[in-house]
Amino acid sequence: MIIVTVASSKGGVGKSTLASALAVRASMDGKRVALIDADLQGSLKFWWHARGEPDNPQLREVDCTAEGLALVAAEGWDWVFIDTPPALVEDIQQAVSVADFVLMPARPSALDLMAIGTSVQICAECEKPYAFVLNQADAKWQLSASAAKELASYGPMLATVISFRLAYAAAATRGRSGPEVERGNACAAEIDALWVELNAHIRKAVRRT
């Protein structure tokens, strides 16, 4: 079982959106996917209910503890995606401590970049591998390029960039992922690339342990 915690101490960076999109993408590969919503706001939980409470991906209401994850592991899930709250450092730290890998979304925003240090420190303290993904970006924005450079100075940076697209926002309220509601294939290409790259980083991290 592979546990991915999607974390940032900054709110609004797209943690729930990416967690749900990756969960759907993993299930398309035949993986059994569990979701854990560690955020009291309950965005991922809302998304799952809006989706019709499917068996895969499935919300598991357990604590982000070794005991809670042991219960999930016993159920035979292949992947677990944990959505985390912003600002609540202890809750983020707990979710990171049980992860195999931490995905850190950040938008091309000065406030997002200022908050990165907290998440990096938590990963360092928990000795967990991580990588950043630039989210809600636009190649035309000069700030996107400078944000990517800034993120790379803090640690591993995924080459995949998730664009600012209305499809991602529209999908969230309908229990869908961006690729499922967009008429074209741009969202699907981005999430496919993110899924492939995430797998590669996890394999690399596992080889190092």
pLDDT at 73 over 60: yes
Q: How confident is the model at residue 11 (pLDDT cuts 50, 70, 90)?
A: confident
pLDDT confidence band for 86 (50 / 70 / 90): confident
Detail the DSSP E strand segments found in 88-156: 101-106, 130-137
- Assess if CATH 3.40.50.300 describes domain 2-207: yes
Task: Give the pLDDT confidence score for residue 80 in this predicted structure.
Answer: 98
Q: How high is the pLDDT of residue 105?
A: 94
Tokens linked to 204: 């690399």
Query: Taking residues 87-95, what's their average pLDDT?
Result: 91
* Strands 79-83, 2-6: pairing kind: parallel
pLDDT of amino acid 174: 93
% of the chain residues with pLDDT over 90: 72
Confidence of residue 6 (pLDDT cuts 50, 70, 90): very high
CA distance 207 to 9: 28
Looking at residue 138, what is its pLDDT?
77
User: pLDDT tens across 128-151, in order?
Assistant: 999 999 999 876 665 567 777 778
CA distance 187 to 147: 21
Q: What is the pLDDT of residues 22-71, one digit of tens each?
A: 999 999 999 999 999 999 899 999 999 999 999 999 999 999 999 999 99
Domain extent listing, the chain: 2-207
Supply the pLDDT for residue 139. Answer: 66
pLDDT (mean) for 175-180: 96
Q: In the prediction, which pLDDT does 184 show? A: 84
pTM: 0.93
pLDDT tens per residue, range 189-206: 999 999 999 999 999 887
Instruction: Please check the confidence at residue 3 and state whether its pLDDT lies above 90.
Output: yes
pLDDT at 77: 98
- The answer to whether 46 and 19 have CB atoms below 8 angstroms apart is no
